[in-house]
Amino acid sequence: MSKEILDLEPKELWKHFYSLTQIPRPSKKEGAAVQFVKEFGEHLDLETLVDDVQNVIIRKPATAGMESRKVVILQGHLDMVPQKNSNKEHDFEKDPIEAYVDGEWVTADGTTLGSDNGMGVAAAMAVLESKDLKHGPIEALFTVDEETGMTGAFGLKPGLLKGDILINMDSEDEGELYVGCAGGTNANMKFNYTEEAVPDDHIAFKLSVTGLKGGHSGIDIPLDKGNANKILNRYLWHASREHGMRVSGISGGDLRNAIPREAFAIVTLPGQQKGKFLECVKKMEGIFKRELATIDPDLSFRADDAEKPESVMDRDTQDRVLSAVYACPNGVIRMSNDMEGLVETSTNLAVVKSEKGQVDVLCLLRSSVDSAREDLKNMFRAVFEPAGAETTFDGEYPGWKPNMESPILKTMQDVYQEKFGKVPEIKAIHAGLECGLLGGVYPNLDMISFGPTIRFPHSPDEKVNIETVKKFWEFLVATLEEIPVK
């Protein structure tokens, strides 16, 4: 861990971000971070409470002369996406993040950094601790489990918050103000299979797809990055037909909201097919590399000798699984007609895993149009149910409809132009910000989202730009000074 981070400006923000990197806080396991922020608020003698789902709320009175301003909710989420390279030894439930300065960026050694949403949390903490900033009444809302279920936002009860304006600090492009986001749904497909004995004449291999960049399944989906599950399944489908290959086990991806970077399979095939099989693997690697040369130049697809497994999947289920996964919608389904460059509807084939007679296929469906999201669910039913999969949907959350007449939008546009000499871009994001859920519970909130520039969130290449963190902080401070009166 490089303590150079503590020398970066603004120091009052970076010191809190550094502290957060030292606290393990993967989604659903962020209890230590909840306790840390709770004690932080209590140490400052500020009103601090933890609600039933472990969201933390800290209230700070207005500074002198600002008492008549509207109450501002500064909102961020405590959890982070736990992703690491396969060759990195790291326990996200125990180990601190090894963050360091890399030129103009802060990044981490082989893991996600947690700038999503550690930057927003650190900024709120810096405001709460400040002695010299000018601001009206502040409520800081630190939610839990945003990345895997939005549990904190789902569980927030009416009446807890007193604020008029919500500033979400979970966006990832400095100079842009976000006024809308996509809604989402989890798709869960389950196949049951019979374990059969491996034929006597079979030999075993481990197939590996590695070297992909991965990324955020909403923000990065229009980049057409390689999906490890799609790549691996494409070959499994072919080899099943051409080489008599049988599948013993599959393991690809581990988080719905991360484009899968790696996928593996243990397979068997007749010994006499070995030469053709290995030749085909090499040929397919060349095809994959050419197809993804620009976006994923480090892709690797290989077959290594493996110990012969005890069993393989029954052939009928294997065929149905491989065909359904091959046909599974993945990537951008439709671009928005209303906002240039915005993805309207997409899917991410996030996880394909087999264990003890069951194959689970997990996807995340996103759309800013509710009817399109329902249509997408029906596509999944049409693909997986005829293949014999039990298909269910859960964790649905609403989108956030843009309000171009928003008073806080106008305020922040004016502040940004005055401070930085240009008009910020107004955008919606193809990702699930908590604003949609929070606005459902508190419909009168005037909401906006912004943040510093973060690249490759939800992947071990995640990094945050140092200069934009400074601008993000200066913009937040200036905005708080200009919050309108009640």
Q: Do residues 151 and 33 lie in contact, with contact meaning Cβ atoms separated by under 8 Å?
A: no
**For residue 117, is the peptide bond before it cis, meaning its omega torsion is within 30 degrees of 0?**
yes
The helix (H) or strand (E) run that includes residue 276 is helix 274-291
Exactly one of 30, 116, 139, 146 is catalytic; name it: 146
3-state secondary structure (DSSP) of residue 26: strand
Residue length, the chain? 486
Q: Would residue 200 show up in a list of annotated catalytic residues for this protein?
A: no
Q: How many CB atoms lie within 10 A of CB 254?
A: 15
Coil vs helix vs strand at 136: coil
Q: Cα 252 to the chain's mean position, in Å?
A: 17
Measure the CA–CA gap between 470 and 404, rounded to whole angstroms. 27
Residues 244 and 276 sit within 8 Å (Cβ to Cβ) = no
List all residues 6 or more positions away from 93 whose beta carbon is below 8 Å from its beta carbon.
Answer: 24, 26, 29
30, 79, 170, 434: which one is catalytic?
79
- DSSP states along 195-228: EEEPPTTEEEEEEEEE----EETTTTGGGT---H
DSSP string covering 150-181, please?
Answer: -HHHHHPPTTS---SEEEE-----TTEEEEEE
As a whole number of angstroms, the distance between CA 234 and CA 301 comes to 12
The question of whether 146 is a catalytic residue gets the answer: yes
Structure tokens at 454: 């973060």
Strand partners, 75: 141, 168
Distance CA 468, CA 454 (A): 9
- The residues assigned a catalytic role are 79, 146
